[in-house]
Structures are given as structure tokens and as C-alpha cells.
Structure 1
Amino acid sequence: MSTTITQLLGIQYPIFQGAMAQIAREPLVSAVSNAGGLGIIGSGGMSADVLREEIRKVRNHTTKPFAVNLMLMMPNIPELIQVIIEEQVNIVTTGAGTPAPYMATFKEHGITVIAVIPSVKIAKKMELLGVDALVAEGTEAGGHVGETTTMALVPQVTSAVSIPVVAAGGVADGRGIAAAFALGAQGVQVGTRFLTTVECPTHDNFKQAVLDADDTSTTVTGRSIGGPVRSIKNGMIADFLKLENEHASREELEKISLGSLRKAVFEGDTDRGSVMAGQICGMCNEITTVEQMITSMFSEAQALLQQLGNTRITGGQTVEI
């Protein structure tokens, strides 16, 4: 499936793997890139040395394009960018801040920059900065989220900018991909569905929590302190929400949440750990390989788009043409 995104990045399928912190590491990244998508290393929480090691591991397992995501709120961003330049990674996605201070450096080294954005206002600012594409992420997504839904956000962003837009949040099958194209996107970014793949390097308990989840299993914490995060409900989340409703300080909230993602991802503690996942997790009900997942999603999307192309709606009825 060829779009402006596949042409820009040299990938087969217009699908990005979400840069999930602690999870988006070599086993998953390499598998996604080898399957024709864009694998993305999540550098959040990494030192420069760890990022360099991950980049080299990925290079040892794929010759296909991959990217590094930068959470721009991290204090060691200049060091991480230096590693990206030295290791000749030519695609970067950014979030949690503005890439403005680094755009000249990126452009000097021929790095394609794709900004993850939650609103039209920020989308326009990123286009003016000179980023090459955008990921418009709706509040349905797992992890750090904005407030606007994917259905509302994507068409407004695609109408407001002239650069390619990738839709994120709530995509787990071919129907989601077809819907994203209908909204004007040139590709999709998927996170939650990748959690239930063989190659995803998380504890089995984490995967099982996603498999067991339904459409009402997630909630958002941290809005009161300006850091909204969507996760699957559990004991830690219940305690966090109780404290948040009692107007607890940031310090009090961090006491129970600090290190919680690592607890879930590596230790398999799905009660006191943070199982970040999106609202679409109710559709993630089987373990497959990354390749099986991507090819089946796009086969379904292609068939659906073809079917819709032969359909018109008239007088309240759907008619094949």
C-alpha cells in the first residue's frame, strides 16, 4: 500500500509502531521494520549509552528503515541526539515538547522529523517549524494522551496542514486503517495491538492483562497535574485516582506511581504496576507474530477500501455500484 508516508520513509506498509516506553526496544522494533512497517525505538528513560546499544542491536537484526522517538522533556536530549547523529539514524519522531531547538541540527544531518501532536494548534506550529510529517494522536491511545478523540482530531489536522498526517489512537484492525484513510491520514501508528505480539518484550502477565481487557478496562490518571496517562485499571490506579480526587500533591502521587511501568513490563506486577494500554485493548484478544498482525490488518483494510470504493449511499440505503 503506497502513500506519501511509505514514499517518504521507504517502508512497505504505512504503519508506525508506537514508541512505548520500556517496551519499544530491539525485539519489537526489528520485527516491525522487517515486516514492512516503521519500527521505533522508545528512548524515554534511556541513557546515551543504552540508546546506542539499542540502535546497534536493531541494525544487527534489520536492514530496513527504523526510527528513534525522543521525549523532549527528558534532560539528556542533546546527548541522545548526538548518538542518533553518530549512529546515522535518519528518522526521528518527537513528543512531550517542541523540537524547535534541534530542528537546524536535524536538517543539517538529513534527518526526517515526525512530530506527535494532540491538537490542531500544535500541528500548525510543527508545520511552521519544518517537520516532515505529523502523528495526530487521539485520547483513545495508551500512555500519555491529549483530550481530543482520534475521530475528531485527525480530519481537523489533515485539513489544517499540508504535510502528511499519520493517525494514532484506537487502531487495531483493518477497519481502523480504512477509517484513518477516510479521515485524511496517510498512515497509522499502532501501540496497544503490538502489546499482544510474540516479539513484544514484556512480561507474560502484561500481555495477559491486555488480552483480558475489554472496552471499559482503561482509565486516565494524572490530568490534575498536567500529565494524563491511560492505563488498564488495577489496584495502583485505584489508589492514584483516590489521591488525585483528594487533591494530593504531585509528590504524594509520585510515591505510588514512580517506577510502576517497569514493575508491569519487567516484573509482571499488573496490580501495582502501570499497564499502559489504549481503549482498543478489548479487540486485542490473541497473540500473533508482528508479521501476521501487519499483513492481516492491511489485507483487511485493502479489501474494505475496495468494497467501499464500489459502494455509494443514497436515500438512506447502501447500494453496490
Structure 2
Amino acid sequence: METALTRLVGVRHPVVQTGMGWVAGPRLVSATANAGALGILASATMTLDHLRDAVREVRSRTDQPFGVNLRADAADAGDRVRIIVDEGVRVASFALAPSRELIAELKEAGVVVVPSVGARRHAEKVADWGADAVIVQGGEGGGHTGEVATSVLLPQVVDAVDIPVVAAGGFHDGRGLVAALAYGAAGIAMGTRFLLTSDSTVPDAVKARYLAATVRDVTVTTAVDGMPHRMLRTDLVDALERAGRTRTFARAVRRAAGFRRLSGLTWSRMIRDGLAMKHGRDLTWSQVLLAANTPMLLRSSMVDGRPDLGVMASGQVAGVIDDLPSCEELIARVMRESRETLDRLAGPGVSIPH
């Protein structure tokens, strides 16, 4: 299926695997790429050396295009951009809107720039600054998310910009791909669906928690870092929502110390990153610290297999997923379902060429 997205980034299918911290590592990204979709390597939880090694590992596993996701507000964003350019990565994806200067630097080097946004005005801004495409996540999506549903946000953005738009938030099958195309998108991006594959390195016990969840088990809370964060409801989330400021601050300091040791960041750097994530919000110091070390909370679940000590970012779609296919099986299924859906829409006796 050829769309503006497949032509732009050089993949066979208009499907993107999003850059999920601790989840979107070399194994998942290369499996996605080999299946014909666009895999995005999550770099925010990596040191610079780890990022370079991870890019090279992906390259050793696949000769297909892939991307790297990074935080535009990170103090070392420029260093990460240089790694992307030096290593010949095809796509740079951003969790927040990158600056005009970063976009220009990447485009000059021939890198495709695809920021992720959650509002029409943000899409308009990055399009004006030269972004090549944009991923638009509706409120159904996992992690930090907004309030506007994909079905409302997506057509707004499609009508507002002249660059390819990739739809995210609530997608898991071929019917969703066809729906996104009908809205004018050039493809879909999925996070939770790729997390729940056999190629994902997330521990099996944690995957089982996701598979057992219903749509009512996925919640949005500000208790973790002061910003709306969609995740599975767990005892830890309940405890954070009940905890007072003193207890929350002590917990934040402990987790921040753990992430500092793991990442090699200094306390001052972590505080700067936490403050950068405030985005004008009135956060407490506990929330600033938690914003800086939310990766540690995610690592406890996604790497260590301890959801009792961490959080599990999740889209609402987790409530309707019940299997763990390989990336190859998943992409083949999505594309088969999309063709069947298009044929069904055409009506009896009518076949749509593929």
C-alpha cells in the first residue's frame, strides 16, 4: 500500500512503531523494519554511547529504513542529532516540537523530520518550520497525552497542514488503518500494539498484565509527574494519587537517585530536564523530580518486570488486545485486514486493486 508516508521514508507499509522508552530497542525496531514498517528507536533513556551502539545494532539486524526518537528539550539534543546524522539514520522523531534550528540541521543532512504533536496549533508550527511529516496522537494514546480524541483531532490537523499526517492513538488493526486513511492520514502509528508482540523485550509477566486489562483498567493520572499520563491502573498509581506531598517527595528523591546512577546524569542536569518538562505547568518539586526520572518508573516495569515498583504506560487499546504476534505477523495481519475492509466497503462484486 503506497501512501505519502511510504514514499517519504521508504518503507513498504504505512505503519509506524512509536519510540517507547525501554521498549523500542534494537530488537523491536529491527523486527518492525524487516516486516516493512517504520521502527523508531527510543533514545531518551539512553546515554549518548548507548544510542550510537543501539543504532549500529539495528543497522546490523536490518537494511531497511528506521528512525530515532529524542526529546527536543533535552540538554544534549544537539549531540543526539549529530549521532543521527553521523550514523545515517533515515528518520528523526521528536516527542516534543523541535526547534527551527534542529529541523534545519537535520533536513540539511537529508534526515526526514517527523515530530509528534497532540494539538493542531503544534502541527501548524512544526510544518511552518519545515517538518517533513507529523505524527498526531489523540487522547486514546499511551504515555503523556491530551484530551482530544483521535477522531476529532486527526481531521483538524489533516485540514490544517500540507505535509503527511500519521495518526496515533487507538490503532491496532487494519480497520483502523483504513479509517485513518479515510480521514486523510498517510498512515498509522502504534505503540501499545507493538509493545504486545513477541519481538518486544518487555517481560512476559508484564505483557500478561496488559493482556488481562480491560478498557476500564487504563486511566489518565497527573499523580506521577504532574502531567496527564495514560497508563494501566495499578496499586502504585493508586498509592501515588493518595500520597501526601512529603511522602511523594521522598519517593521522588529515591527514584531520581536510581535513575541518576543508571543514566550517569548529574542532579543539576536532571532538575533542568524536569523543569523543561513543566511547560508552564504549576508543578511541585516532587513532580519536577518525578518528571525528570519518570523513565526510572517505566524501567521498573518494562525492564525489571516489577509493575509494583513502576508504571505501565498504555493506550486505551490495550483493553482490546489479546495476543502476542511477531512484528511480521502483526504487519501482515494489519495489511490483510485493510485490504479486506476496502473490498467490503466497495460492495459485492467490486474489487479494489491493490
| TM-score, normalized by the shorter chain, greater than 0.5 | yes
Partner of 2:315: 278
Seen in structure 2, the aligned counterparts of structure 1 residues 155 and 245 have a Cα distance that, compared at 3 Å, is farther
Shift in alpha-carbon separation, 1:273–1:10, aligned structure 2, 3 A: same
Contact 2:97 2:126 in 1 (8 A): no
Q: Deviations over 1:23-54 (max 9, x none)?
A: 11001000000000001101112111011000
C-alpha distance in 1, partners of 2:37/2:224? 36
Unaligned runs of 5+ in 1: 312-321
Local SS of the residue matching 2:330: helix
Aligned length: 311
CA contact (8 A) 1:224 1:244 kept: no
Q: Which residue of 1 aligns with 2:337?
A: 300
Q: 1:310 and 2:347 equivalent? A: yes
Report the alpha carbon displacement of residue 245 of structure 1 after superposing the two structures with TM: 10
Higher strand share: 1
Cα distance 1:222–1:208, how it changes in 2: closer, same or farther (>3 A)?
A: same
Between the aligned partners of 1:130 and 1:14, the Cα distance in structure 2 is 21
Structure 2 residue aligned with 1:39: 39
CA distance in 2, matches of 1:4, 1:103: 20
Distance in 1 (CA, whole Å) between partners of 2:290 and 2:39 is: 33
Partner of 2:171: 171
- The residue type equivalent to 1:300 in the other structure is E
| C-alpha displacement of 1:129 | 0.4
Q: How big is the shift at 1:304? A: 0.4
**Aligned partners of 1:244 and 1:28: how far apart in 2?**
39
Structure 1 pair 233/245, CA: closer, same or farther in 2 (3 Å)? farther
Superposition CA RMSD, Å: 2.2
Q: Which residue of 2 aligns with 1:265?
A: 302
Structure with more contact order per residue of length (Cα contacts < 8 Å, sep ≥ 6): 2
Which letter maps to 1:271?
D
Counterpart of 1:252 in structure 2 is 286
For 1:151, give the aligned amino acid: S
What's 1:53 paired with? Answer: 53
| Residue equivalent to 1:123 | 123
Aligned residue number for residue 204 of structure 1: 204
Amino acid at match of 2:189: Q
Report the AA paired with residue 306 of structure 2.
D
Question: Could you report, residue by residue, the CA deviation over 1:45-72 in whole angstroms, capped at 9, with x for unpaired residues?
Answer: 2111011000000000000000011111
Larger CA deviation: 147-156 vs 56-65: 147-156
Aligned residue for 1:39, secondary structure, equals strand
Change (3 A) 1:74 1:284: same
**Structure 1 residue 103, shift from structure 2 partner:** 1.8
Q: Deviations over 1:87-140 (max 9, x none)?
A: 111211112243323122112201110111111111111110010111110111
Change (3 A) 1:295 1:244: farther
Q: CA deviation at 1:154?
A: 0.4
1:260-315 C-alpha deviation (Å, 9 max, x unpaired): 1110011111222111110000121111111101110111011102211338xxxx
d(CA) in 2 for partners of 1:144 and 1:89?
26
- Counterpart of 2:192 in structure 1 is 192
- 1:229 alignment partner in structure 2: 229
Deviations 1:140-169 (A, max 9, x none): 111121221111110110011111100000
Aligned match of 1:9: 9
SS in 2 for 1:216: helix
- Could you tell me how far apart the structure 2 residues matched to 1:73 and 1:240 are? 26
Moved more, 217-226 or 64-73: 217-226
SS in 2 for 1:267: coil
Q: Is the 8 A contact 1:222 1:244 kept in 2?
A: no
Correspondence 1:291 to 2:328: yes
Check the 8 A contact 1:17/1:190 in 2, yes or no.
yes
2:219 aligns to what? 219
So what's the TM-score if we normalise by structure 2?
Answer: 0.83
- Residue 258 (structure 2) aligns with: none
Q: Distance in 2 between matches of 1:298 and 1:191?
A: 17
Q: Quick one: distance in 1 between partners of 2:104 and 2:98?
A: 13
In 2 relative to 1, CA 99–194 (structure 1 residues): closer, same or farther, beyond 3 Å?
A: same
Q: Structure 1 length normalisation: TM-score?
A: 0.91
Q: Point out where structure 2 has 5 or more consecutive residues left out of the alignment.
A: 249-282, 349-354
